[in-house]
Structure 1
Amino acid sequence: MGKKANVIILAGFLGSGKTTLLKQLLAYEKEHNHKTAVLMNEIGKVSIDSDSVPEDVPLKELLNGCICCSLSDQLEKQLWGLCKENELDTLIIEATGVAHPIDVLDACLSPYLIDDLQISGIISIMDAPRWLNRESMNVQARMLMLEQVKHADYIVWNKTSGLTEKEKQLLMNDSTRLNEGIPSVLTDFSKVEISQLFSLTVKKRSEHQSVSADKLKVKTFVYSFKGPVNKELFENWLRHVPSSIYRIKGYIQFKNQIHLFQYSYGLPTYEKELMKMPLRLVFIGEDLNPDQLTRGLNEVESESN
């Protein structure tokens, strides 16, 4: 198995400064002789920011849609292509400003990519004046900005030079209130200590262990099956999984048929898979208990045989 590429997800509302931070990340990577690739997502049909990526940096673009909804399948294919075509140290995803960070993370954790990628963290770049005046925005926009703060592993409060000390304190209070323990910084032009962003790197994954470091707000966990299981026993176990699990995806075998399994907001779906795929599930959520999940699925396996 080759080395894994660290994935950094740049989240943040439209115009918050994601591309400005991307340029700094790429300069840092070049200075350290790291092989880096970029995946950029634009809602429109034409890419606006791709010119900011140097020609020697592998780049793929997803246009005319959002990678967390209509383009999620294409994202997996593009990530797979970047991994197979390049031996990467780092892969940076600049999501569209209307993307939910958890959905972007979910799309990155494809069963095809478990052996190629490890999630370093979600960096949310927030337009500070817009955040302070968010009550003037529509409900959907306010909720999205809230989620971008809540699920970040590092918060960049950008465009703060014109703010009062009281307003700056409000930003830091919001960081603590919504996402306690996560580092945040007040800045302009998205200037941050870049090395801090790379300190979020996850621990090396081993079988039946969590793949996230303690610093990550959202945890991931991988479980590998030894063989087929009984569908009724599995679904009975599934009914009791904690609500803190946002997503489950991967491949599971019932009798002689392998299925692509996906679980979101309490609803499971199964799709027959014609190819022989590794039998493993990826879990995404908060406060995951790997030991408890492992015990439960071990019981499903043992009782199936």
Structure 2
Amino acid sequence: MKKKANVIILAGFLGSGKTTLLKQLLSYEKEHKHKTAVLMNEIGKVSIDSDSVPEDVPLKELLNGCICCSLSDQLEKQLWGLCKENELDTLIIEATGVAHPIDVLDACLSPYLIDDLHVSGIISIMDAPRWLDRESMNVQARMLMLEQVKHADYIVWNKTSGLTEKEKTLLTSDTSRLNEDTPFVLTDFAKVDLSQLFSLSVKKRSDHQSVSADKLKVKTFIYSFKRPVNKELFENWLRNVPSSIYRIKGYIQFENQIYLFQYSYGLPTYEKELMKMPLRLVFIGEDLDPDQLTRGLSEVEVESE
């Protein structure tokens, strides 16, 4: 069975220090003789940071857009290419500074990639002075920074040497208030114990179980269908899913037709699929109950005649 590549998502606002941390991660991986690839995303038409990636490291770039919205489909193709072209131990995604962590995670959990990748965690690199001065920023920027802290599995509070003890205490308090029990560090130049970042490894689980480690704040769950699904029963079930489920994506069969199904912000979409695909759904959210999800979905499957 082919091993899965370990995915680390680097999130953080513009100029927070993501590329600085990326360089350290790549050096660490080289020392440990791991095969590592990088996917970088830039809002502009030209990549500024790609020169920081050594020539012997497989690199793919997504330019002129954000991987959590306009380039989501392209991200899946690029990730697929990196997996098929290389036998990877680690895949590092440096997202654009305006990317929402959950959207990046969602893009990584394509039905095409479930057997090739598992996500270790979201590492949020935060510009500490900017965070403390966030009230001077617009509402959208403040909300994005809040989400980057809230959904991180490890927080790097960067550029902290010039802060007072009171300000450092406030950062610690904000971490506990917004993302309880999440490991974090107050540092400069994105220096961190890199072994901690790689210890966020996802535990291997079978289908019908959570596939995320307990450390991960955002959980994922995979359900595999044994039979086609009754659409009316499925949509009745869908109306009652908890708000803690952010995304659902995968393939589902109604009668003799397979559909690519996606669910986001309470809105489902169906797209006819011409190829035979594995019938399974990937869930992303918080406080997922695998047993409850399994019971509900098993009840919408059509019994064999």
**TM bin (shorter chain):** over 0.9
CA contact (8 A) 1:230 1:304 kept: no
Deviation digits for residues 212-234 of structure 1 (CA, Å, limit 9, x no counterpart): 01000000000000121110011
CA distance in 2, matches of 1:137, 1:70: 24
**How far did 1:274 drift?**
0.5
* Number of the residue aligned with 1:84: 84
Deviation digits for residues 19-53 of structure 1 (CA, Å, limit 9, x no counterpart): 00000000000000000000000000000000000
* Number of the residue aligned with 1:287: 287
Helix, strand or coil at the partner of 1:48 = coil
**How far did 1:56 drift?**
0.4
Deviation digits for residues 118-162 of structure 1 (CA, Å, limit 9, x no counterpart): 000000000000000011111110000000000000000000000
**How far did 1:302 drift?**
5.3
CA contact (8 A) 1:233 1:304 kept: no
Deviation digits for residues 187-231 of structure 1 (CA, Å, limit 9, x no counterpart): 000000000000100001312110001000000000000121110
How many residues in Structure 1 have an aligned counterpart in Structure 2? 305
CA contact (8 A) 1:205 1:211 kept: yes
CA distance in 2, matches of 1:187, 1:143: 23
CA contact (8 A) 2:227 2:303 kept: no
CA contact (8 A) 2:227 2:302 kept: no
CA distance in 2, matches of 1:204, 1:147: 27
**How far did 1:238 drift?**
0.9
Deviation digits for residues 170-194 of structure 1 (CA, Å, limit 9, x no counterpart): 0010000000010010000000000
CA contact (8 A) 1:40 1:95 kept: yes
CA contact (8 A) 2:228 2:302 kept: no
User: RMSD between aligned alpha carbons?
Assistant: 0.9
Normalization by structure 1: what TM-score?
A: 0.99
**How far did 1:235 drift?**
0.7
Normalization by structure 2: what TM-score?
A: 0.99
Change (3 A) 1:98 1:304: farther
Helix, strand or coil at the partner of 1:301 = coil
Bigger mean CA offset, 242-251 vs 200-209:
200-209
CA contact (8 A) 2:230 2:302 kept: no
Helix, strand or coil at the partner of 1:79 = helix
Percent identical: 91
Helix, strand or coil at the partner of 1:258 = strand
CA distance in 2, matches of 1:222, 1:204: 12
Q: Any stretches of 5+ residues in structure 2 without a counterpart?
A: none
CA distance in 2, matches of 1:304, 1:177: 50
Deviation digits for residues 254-292 of structure 1 (CA, Å, limit 9, x no counterpart): 001000000011111000001110000000000000011
CA distance in 2, matches of 1:304, 1:292: 23
Which 4+ stretches in 1 moved above 2 angstroms?
302-305
Q: Any stretches of 5+ residues in structure 1 without a counterpart?
A: none
* Number of the residue aligned with 1:57: 57
CA distance in 2, matches of 1:229, 1:167: 54
Bigger mean CA offset, 62-71 vs 200-209:
200-209
**How far did 1:240 drift?**
1.2
Helix, strand or coil at the partner of 1:302 = coil
**How far did 1:300 drift?**
1.4
Helix, strand or coil at the partner of 2:23 = helix
